């Protein structure tokens, strides 16, 4: 076995292994299977990993494996697919209004917001995960945060003293 | 609420916020690492693939030799006396449909790595065995008939959850005597056909 390649892979995993576990657990109840698939792709495509953004790139690979896994589950176990496809829900007791507002958003918006708030990625790295341009990622994030604010406003009244029209004005970082 | 505040508030909903993760030095991680790095599904230029490919070549050569021997025996019997059903046959097994397996993303580069690939029409589905008349060999064989046997006592004979049907055309790849699933084999479609042509040069 190529020891250099093995060492490079181990180094990469030192950086991405823990975050990948969280990334997948946030999105599927079959995270171990998908993690295994993801590592296989990372190993096979080790030479393609961009040195400047290995983690977002690895998230992008995990996302592809997740979609593949979902299709596979859907094909094989149509009757029980919802059990396997539903990602773990956010704990609503923490902030019920926000949890409800978040849950009411379309899937694409939820994913952008997860990448931003849970994976803590800036727009340029969200772009790597989603395979879109940084500019498109910024626009999507801006729209998604605006939608979340709108949903949230329906769930809870704005705090007193807040100037109307200020919400959603600032571009997300 | 500015963006930082919204982000912080949303981050508090993260179901994984305080959940521990397996460390890379854990037994679980080390096992996974080992399995991954000794995987046979690496791309062709990788060093590990060369070792795998040698193994696959040996396996394929054995399969081809077996078919060759069968063909030679049949030929020596004389074509005139050859019963119609005595065609050269290659036997492969199907993956267990009850086993929970994980899939790797479909990629022509991976497809290319499989040592056996052919197109065929199902002529019979019975007793846990699917028989196909080969219409085209892409790589790794010359048999006229391929039989696919399902492992164990499974009732339905299927691949990726889809049952084989008589008179339908399929594109099949195999490795180590077993049909590969996860979309690398399946009912013929223009998309799969194109992928096979691309992988094996038509």
Tens-place pLDDT, residues B104-132 = 777 888 888 888 999 999 999 887 889 99
Higher pLDDT, B26 or B185: B185
CB-facing half-sphere around the CA of B82: CA atoms within 13 A: 16
Cα end-to-end span (Å), chain A: 43
Q: What is the pLDDT of residue A16?
A: 94
Contacts of B103 in chain A (CB under 8 A): 37, 68-69, 72
Joined together, the tokens standing for residue B155 give 């009732």
In angstroms, the separation between the Cα of residue A60 and the nearest Cα of chain B is 13
Instruction: Say yes or no to pLDDT of B164 above 80.
Output: yes
Where residue B56 falls among pLDDT bands split at 50, 70, 90?
Answer: very low
Residue contact A22–B19, C-beta within 8 A: yes
The contacts of residue A145 (CB under 8 Å, 6+ apart) are A113, A116, A168, A172, B3, B6
Give the torsion through C-alpha atoms of B43, B44, B47, B50, to 10 deg. 130
Contact list in A for residue B160 (CB cut-off 8 A) is: 72, 75-76
Measured distance CA(B128)–CA(B109) in Å, rounded: 31
Reported as a single tens digit per residue, the pLDDT across A109-163 is 999 999 999 999 999 999 999 888 999 999 999 999 999 999 999 877 666 555 4
Name the residue among A9, A4, A40, A7 with its Cα closest to residue B36: A40
Whether residues A44 and B100 touch (CB distance < 8 A) is answered with no
Angle (nearest 5°) at CA B44 between B42 and B49: 55
CA separation for the pair B99, B163 (Å, rounded): 16
Whether the per-residue pLDDT at B58 is higher than 60: the answer is no
List pLDDT tens digits, range B80-105: 334 444 678 888 888 776 665 567 77
Nearest-angstrom CA–CA distance, B129 and B125: 6
Closest CA of chain A from B156, distance in Å: 13
Q: Is B20 on the interface with A (CB under 8 A)?
A: no
Confidence of residue A24 (pLDDT cuts 50, 70, 90): very high
pLDDT at A87 over 50: yes
> B14, A117: Cβ pair inside 8 Å?
yes
Chain B, residues 52-111, CB within 8 A of chain A, namely 97, 100, 102-106, 110
Name the pTM for this structure.
0.49
Is the pLDDT reported for residue B71 higher than 60? no
pLDDT recorded at residue B82: 40
Report CA-CA distances (Å) from A12 to A5, A7, B2, B39, B49.
10, 9, 35, 17, 20
Indicate which of B43, B103, B107, B111 best probes the interface with A, i.e. most A CBs within 10 Å of its own CB. B103
Least confident of A94-108, B80-94, B165-179: B80-94
Nearest CA distance, A14 vs chain B (angstrom): 7
């Amino acid at each position: 076995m190529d020891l250099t390649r093995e060492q490079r892979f181990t180094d990469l995993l030192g950086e991405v292994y823990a975050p990948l576990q969280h990334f997948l657990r946030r999105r599927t109840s079959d995270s171990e299977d998908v993690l295994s698939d993801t590592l296989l792709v990372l190993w096979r495509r080790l030479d393609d990993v961009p040195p400047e953004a290995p983690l977002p790139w690895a998230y992008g690979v995990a996302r592809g494996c997740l979609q593949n896994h979902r299709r596979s589950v859907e094909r094989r176990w149509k009757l029980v697919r919802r059990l396997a496809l539903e990602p773990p829900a956010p704990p609503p007791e923490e902030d019920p209004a926000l949890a409800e507002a978040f849950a009411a958003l379309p899937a694409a918006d939820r994913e952008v917001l997860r990448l931003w708030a849970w994976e803590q990625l800036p727009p340029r790295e969200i772009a790597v995960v989603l395979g879109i341009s940084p500019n498109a990622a910024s626009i999507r994030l801006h729209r998604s945060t605006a939608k979340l604010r709108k949903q949230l406003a329906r769930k809870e009244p704005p705090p007193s003293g807040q100037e109307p029209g200020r919400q959603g004005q600032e571009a997300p970082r | 609420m500015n963006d930082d505040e919204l982000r912080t508030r949303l981050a508090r909903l993260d179901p994984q916020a305080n959940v521990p993760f397996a460390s890379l030095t854990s037994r679980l991680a080390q096992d996974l690492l080992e399995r991954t790095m000794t995987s046979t599904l690496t791309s062709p230029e990788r060093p590990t693939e060369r070792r795998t490919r040698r193994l696959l070549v040996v396996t394929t050569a054995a399969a081809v030799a077996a078919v060759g021997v069968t063909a030679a025996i049949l030929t020596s019997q004389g074509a005139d006396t050859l019963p119609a059903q005595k065609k050269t046959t290659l036997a492969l097994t199907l993956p267990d449909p009850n086993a929970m397996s994980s899939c790797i993303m479909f990629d022509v580069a991976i497809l290319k790595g499989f040592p056996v690939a052919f197109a065929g029409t199902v002529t019979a589905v019975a007793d846990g065995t699917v028989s196909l008349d080969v219409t085209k060999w892409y790589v790794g064989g010359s048999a006229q008939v391929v039989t696919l046997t399902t492992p164990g006592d499974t009732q339905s004979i299927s691949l990726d959850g889809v049952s084989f049907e008589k008179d339908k055309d399929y594109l099949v790849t195999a490795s180590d005597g077993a049909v590969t699933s996860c979309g690398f084999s399946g009912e013929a479609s223009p998309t799969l056909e194109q992928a096979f042509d691309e992988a094996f040069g038509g």
